[in-house]
Each structure stands twice: as structure tokens, then as C-alpha cells.
A = this chain, B = another copy of it.
Amino acid sequence: MSYVLNGGPRKVAAETAERIHQAVAQLGYSPNAAARALNLGVIETMGLIIHDITNPYYNSIAATVQRAAEQHGVSLITASTLEDRSKTLSHLEAMEARQLRGVIVTTHMFPEAVRAATRMRTRIVQLDSLDPIPGVPRFDMDFEAGSWLALDHLTGLGHRRIAFVGGQSPVDVRIGPWRESHRRRGVDPGPLRVVPYTREGGYEGMRDILADEVPTSVFAGSDLIAMGVLRALREAGLRVPEDVSVVGYDDIPESEFAAPPLTTVRVPIEKMARDAVEAVLDPTAISDSDHISAPALIVRASTAAPRRTP
């Protein structure tokens, strides 16, 4: 059946195609997309621009966007900026030139790219992307609410000064709630390190903190950073969570397999990706405004009450 939808090499009689279309419509596929794919003879394609194809968070987004697009009979191609924001514009232009069905952008954008995007004919939708493009639907999560979930979990366990190892892109939005959490409790903020969003960044940042002090808890700006934090603590002979509690952010697949399994903030990628694909393929279905999703706390084995005076 995918052959008919994809318009592959096999020819299909008109009557058969009609029956398949009906079945497809009943299954919840978009009949427009399926019909268009049949007419074109080649499967329709939409684009996705991600920040870094080696970052599992973006890979999860890509897989989820792809599954949602394929539900509509549309295939997905992905372009990565490899963390170089300036490439977003040339990727957008290349996709515009190839007349894709639409493009989902997850990367941060320079003003120049934002201006160019507003002039393009290709349908553009933003997903987890700062730097809003005027008139473009944007799907994002509530970073502030997610940060409070992590911080309140740690303070609820009895931690007072919380270390923060976060990213630089250009500034980690989780730093605000982290500062505010200490201020409200009348406590001096714990140590802060701003590092790249990588395992290596988390590792170096945590080693640097440990050279000065051993905090009772660490809030990492991403799970990838948390993987490096865990390694630095392990190498220093510190046990998690007995000596130090660690909370991550994103809930990437490897977090459940970490030693110990990581407590983290789950981003509702599934729903955001489905909605973003819907907004690309059916512009009337979704309003051209900001859609903000709420994150959830996933408690695993990397957090516990402090055993030392926090």
C-alpha cells in the first residue's frame, strides 16, 4: 500500500487508486497529501532544519517529525547547522529552491535569516526555536516552568545551594529561575558554569566546580551536559545521589541508561512535533501564533535528600 501512496514505479489503475484513497482517508491520513503524492509520481517532501545532528535531543525531534509527516504521506529531509547559526539561512534558501512542501526550523536565527524567511513562499514553522519570525506559527515549551520543576524538586528534597552547569546559546534561559530560586529562599546561589551543550562541556564544567567545592546538588541545562557531570562526579569518587544529586533537562533516550538513571525534565516533543507538522501541511488547522507546551518532571535515581549539611 505504501507504494500507491508514494507513487512508486508500479502503476495503479484509477479505480484501485480511488479505493486506496478512501481507505487512506479512513485511516486518518491527509487525503490531499496522498492525492498530491499520487499526481506527482514522487512522494512529497518537507524539510527540517536542526541545530546539531549529533545531539540526541534534535535526533528525537527529527524522528518524531518524520513519523508525523509520514502519517500524512509526506517524507522528511533534515539539514543540520552543526551548531553554526549562520547556516540556517542557506539551508532555508536551498529548501525554498527545491520547492518543499514546507520547512520546520528548530535553530536560532540571525535577524538576516528572519527577514529572508518572511519573504519566502515556502511554508515555515518554528519548533523549539528562539528568534520568532513574524507571522509564523511557533511551537515551544515553557522553559521557565520546566526549570522550576527541577529546582523545586531539589529544594523539596532539602538541598539549599544548587550548582548550575548550563549551556550558552546565547544564554541559557534556565539561569533566571535558578537565580530566582536562591533569591526567594534567601540563599547565596551555588556555583555556576556556562559550557557548550555537550557531554564534554558538562564534564569540564563539573570538574571546574569540584576544584573549588562539592555541591550537594547540580541542575544541568541539558541531559547531554548531565552525562558529563555524572562522569566528572564518578571520576572524583563521588556517589550519585548519596553525595551529589543531579537533575538534567530534555529526557533524551540515554538518560534512562545512565549510571544512575537520570532524574530530568521531559519536553513534550511528541505533541509539539505533531502539531508543527500539522501546521506545515494544513495551514488552516493551526493558528499563526505561539503554542507553548508544559514540561514534566521524570524522577529516576539521580536525586535524593542531601546527607551532608547542604
Contacts and interface: CB of A to CB of B under 8 A. Distances in A.
A165 B82 CA distance: 33
A174 interface: no
A200 to B, nearest CB: 9
A39 interface: no
Contacts of A199: 253-254, 256-257
B97 A42 contact: yes
A59 interface: yes
A293 interface: no
| Interface SS, A side | helix
A209 interface: no
A82 B63 contact: yes
A227 interface: yes
Interface stretch (A26-34, A84-92, A178-186, A211-219): A84-92
Contact residues on A (Cβ < 8 Å of other chain), bracket: 35 or more
A264 B75 CA distance: 35
Given A53-B78, A63-B80, 19 more contacts: A2-B86, A6-B93, A42-B94, A42-B97, A43-B90, A45-B98, A54-B60, A56-B59, A63-B82, A75-B91, A76-B80, A77-B78, A77-B79, A78-B79, A199-B253, A199-B256, A227-B257, A228-B257, A258-B259
Interface in A13-57: 42-43, 45, 47, 52-54, 56
A130 interface: no
Nearest to A79: B77
A74 B227 CA distance: 33
